[in-house]
Amino acid sequence: MILCYYLFNWVQMYQEEGLNSAVIFRLWVIVIVAGILLTILGTILTNIVLSIAHAIKTQTNTEPRFIEDERDKLIELKGVRVAYVTFSVGVLIAMITFALGQPPLIMFSLIVLFSVIAEIIGSIAQLHLYRRGVQYG
């Protein structure tokens, strides 16, 4: 949702008036704050829903124990690695656009864009690894 909002507003601004630094800085702040807030709210709501589902399933009032083992840590690390590689490629693309003569606002906009994309791709990679199972080695 945040990525769609960012892309829609950025393209609309670029087509209508060009890149205005005051407007684009406001867009960046909205995207970054929304990303932080939605991550926090998503984590809290997920824990609440999982606790309710556990209580309904077990018919008890005890808190579920979420145990993290080596497999979970390995999947998290591999997801973070995918996110970092994606972000690094995005920064490289942003630097190349700047070196080819594009304005600095384009470069910084691409960096913000790829930070959101990297977070999404890292999460998708973690989900994929959980579904597939992770191979040690």
What CA–CA distances, in Å, run from 91 to 3, 129, 131? Answer: 17, 25, 30
pLDDT tens over the chain, length 137 residues: 888 888 898 888 888 888 788 888 888 889 889 888 988 998 899 888 888 887 888 887 776 676 778 888 899 999 999 999 999 999 999 999 999 999 888 999 899 899 989 989 999 999 999 888 766 54
Reported pTM: 0.71
C-alpha R_g of the chain: 19
Q: Specify the pLDDT at position 64.
A: 63
CA distance 117 to 108: 14
Name the DSSP class of 102: -
Burial classification of residue 23, based on how many CB atoms lie within 10 Å of its CB (0-12 exposed, 13-18 middle, 19 or more buried): middle
